[in-house]
Amino acid sequence: MENRKLGSEGLEVSAIGLGCMGMSDFYGESDEAESIATIHRALEIGVNLLDTADMYGRGDNERLVGRAVADRRDQAVVATKFGIVRGEGNERSISGHPDYVRSSIDESLTRLGLDHVDLYYQHRVDRTVPIEETVGAMSELVEAGKVRYLGLSEASVETIRKANEVHPISALQSEYSLFERGLEEQVLPVLRELGIGLVPYSPLGRGFLTGRFRSEADFDSADFRSHDPRMSKENFRRNLTIVEAIEELASTHDVTPAQMAIAWVLAQGSDVVPIPGTKKISRLEENAAAAAVSLSESDLAALDALPRPQGDRYAPTLMGSIDA
């Protein structure tokens, strides 16, 4: 698989990464041995960008990724995040305080069993702390050798500009897919102006675009998606028409809908590196093969013209934490 550059500081990663979140949280049951085997297979086939966060599984996901890379650290580009603080049950808060940044990286490194992470993101912007202070503390981690490159997630253009003045930002990780196009008008042009890469998360629309889920009843109440407005009873059926159109186009190319959805993201620019999530080797291989799918201008135009989904991308409490 080709490599792509993220930002202007020298970070280079596989064109497609692997989202590890679902191996420990949010998307139903998982099997640790299968998850670790999936990470190993990813590294074998050249998918080297592994995405985790301190809040996934309340630290369990970092521990899992750490175990998986322990004997092959040099093959992996490990990205993690800080800033979403989980309380009891579903309670969450956000912290970008410099002291919190400093303690978070040490805890992440301990869980990962590493002496540095390659890419360290602020997971959500803390609007009570000037971004300059948060990124200032993050830049000290680069100087200390604990972190190689810096990133932000779901940051607004104003935040991105201010952050990038303090220290070059290599990547913005935000939701972007055929199911979520919100970055195109304002954020993408600013990333390009500043030379910042884009790491689209949920490039498969949390699995919806794969065509695997056919009804809201496919998610039990423990699955995060049972609270996803786009997959609610009111919106599921109508949003499925988007998937049906992707399935139709995919069948004419003899590829899967997941491959078509990832190929569309890859075609948005050489500065774009999607991180589809899976805990299964077969799906990892399927998704990685999307790097070889070439879409014509008319395919891209047909995909661009798909209707936008109905419903917000998060429930109201979580939408409130998006920096806008």
Ligand X SMILES: NC(=O)c1ccc[n+]([C@@H]2O[C@H](COP(=O)([O-])OP(=O)(O)OC[C@H]3O[C@@H](n4cnc5c(N)ncnc54)[C@H](OP(=O)(O)O)[C@@H]3O)[C@@H](O)[C@H]2O)c1
Binding residues (CB under 6 A) for ligand X: these are 19-22, 27, 51, 123, 153-154, 173, 201-207, 210, 212, 258, 275-280, 283, 286-287
**Minimum distance from residue 297 beta carbon to ligand X (Å):** 25
Output 143 or 180, the one with its CB closest to ligand X: 180
Contacts of 204 (CB under 8 A, 6+ apart): 177, 210, 258, 261, 262, 276, 277, 287
By beta-carbon distance, which residue lies closest to ligand X?
Answer: 19
Output 145 or 320, the one with its CB closest to ligand X: 320
H or E element in which residue 122 lies: strand 117-122
Q: Are 318 and 86 in contact (CB under 8 A)?
A: no
Tell me if residue 92 falls in helix, strand or coil.
Answer: strand
**Minimum distance from residue 201 beta carbon to ligand X (Å):** 3
The Cβ of residue 132 has, within 10 Å, a number of other Cβ atoms equal to 13
* DSSP states of 15-58: SS-EE-GGGTSSSS---HHHHHHHHHHHHHTT--EEE--TTGGG
Output 146 or 206, the one with its CB closest to ligand X: 206
Tell me if residue 222 falls in helix, strand or coil.
Answer: coil
**Minimum distance from residue 171 beta carbon to ligand X (Å):** 11
Distance CA 158, CA 101 (A): 21
Output 164 or 287, the one with its CB closest to ligand X: 287
**Minimum distance from residue 246 beta carbon to ligand X (Å):** 12
Among residues 149, 190, 177, the alpha carbon closest in space to that of 265 is found at 177
| Residue 149 annotated in active site | no
Cα 58–Cα 47–Cα 309 angle in degrees, nearest 5: 70
Write down the catalytic residue from 56, 120, 121, 149: 56
**Minimum distance from residue 286 beta carbon to ligand X (Å):** 4
Output 164 or 173, the one with its CB closest to ligand X: 173
> What pairs with residue 173 in β-bridges?
153, 199
Please identify every residue annotated as catalytic.
Answer: 56
